């Protein structure tokens, strides 16, 4: 009876202890992260890191961080199994390439935008200049009208004056 309370039976050993063919104690470090229903997960990690290294790494971490750490090591181990040369660094490399490519495309589009804005500004400046020229011309022509009207009036007055004078002298 004592054995059952202190150790887990064969059927409730974690995947790690099952694989290592050892007793799975209640305080087994690996048990929470390598359940018996997923033997592949531990097999992956054991193949790349080894059970003792995984245990050492997890033991050094606070309990609340161990689940994430186990998941990350599982991911890296399975990446390494799929790609024995580059492992998860292949993913890093591809992402870095993607970043460079996207930055290049952004620069291209921003250059195009800058060109459009510059063209628009030039167009506006041109429009303003045309408007100013028009106003100038209008101003000149109205000035001419005023001048010609003024000189006509002057002639009229002069004629009238002469008439009057003429009338006076006669």
Partner 1 sequence: MGGSSPCASCKLLRRRCAKDCIFAPYFPPDDPHKFSIVHKVFGASNVSKMLQELPVHQRADAVSSLVYEATARMRDPVYGCVGAISYLQNQVSQLQMQLAVAQAEILCIQMQQEPTLPTNQIDPVDKKSLLLSATNVNNIPQYLGFASSSSVIQDPLKRESLWT
Q: DSSP of 124-153, one letter per residue?
A: HHHHHHHHHHHHHHHHHHHHHHHHHHHHHH
88 belongs to the binding site for partner 1 (CB under 8 A): yes
99 belongs to the binding site for partner 1 (CB under 8 A): yes
Is residue 24 within 8 Å of 12, Cβ to Cβ?
A: yes
Is residue 49 within 8 Å of 73, Cβ to Cβ?
A: yes
Helix (H/G/I), strand (E/B), else coil: 102? helix
Q: Find where tokens 């099952």 sit.
A: 18
13 belongs to the binding site for partner 1 (CB under 8 A): no
Which listed residue (6, 65, 141, 147) binds partner 1 by CB under 8 A? 65
Write the interaction track for partner 1 spanning residues 103-122; mark x where CB under 8 A is met and - where it is not.
x-xx--xx-xx--x------
Residues engaged in binding partner 1 (CB under 8 A): 47-50, 52-53, 57, 60-61, 65, 68-69, 71-73, 75-76, 80, 84-89, 91-93, 95-96, 98-99, 102-103, 105-106, 109-110, 112-113, 116
């Amino acid at each position: 009876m004592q054995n059952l309370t202190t150790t887990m039976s064969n059927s409730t050993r974690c995947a790690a202890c099952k694989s290592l063919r050892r007793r799975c104690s209640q305080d087994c470090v690996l048990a929470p992260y390598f359940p018996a229903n997923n033997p592949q997960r531990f097999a992956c990690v054991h193949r790349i890191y080894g059970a003792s290294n995984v245990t050492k790494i997890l033991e050094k971490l606070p309990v609340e961080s161990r689940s994430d750490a186990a998941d990350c090591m599982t991911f890296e181990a399975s990446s390494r199994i799929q790609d024995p040369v580059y492992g998860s660094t292949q993913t890093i490399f591809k992402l870095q390439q993607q970043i460079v490519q996207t930055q290049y495309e952004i620069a291209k589009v921003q250059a195009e935008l800058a060109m459009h804005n510059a063209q628009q500004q030039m167009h506006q400046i041109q429009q303003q200049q045309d408007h100013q020229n028009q106003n100038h011309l209008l101003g000149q022509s109205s000035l001419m009208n005023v001048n010609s009207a003024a000189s006509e009036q002057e002639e009229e007055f002069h004629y009238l004056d002469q008439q009057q004078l003429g009338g006076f002298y006669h």
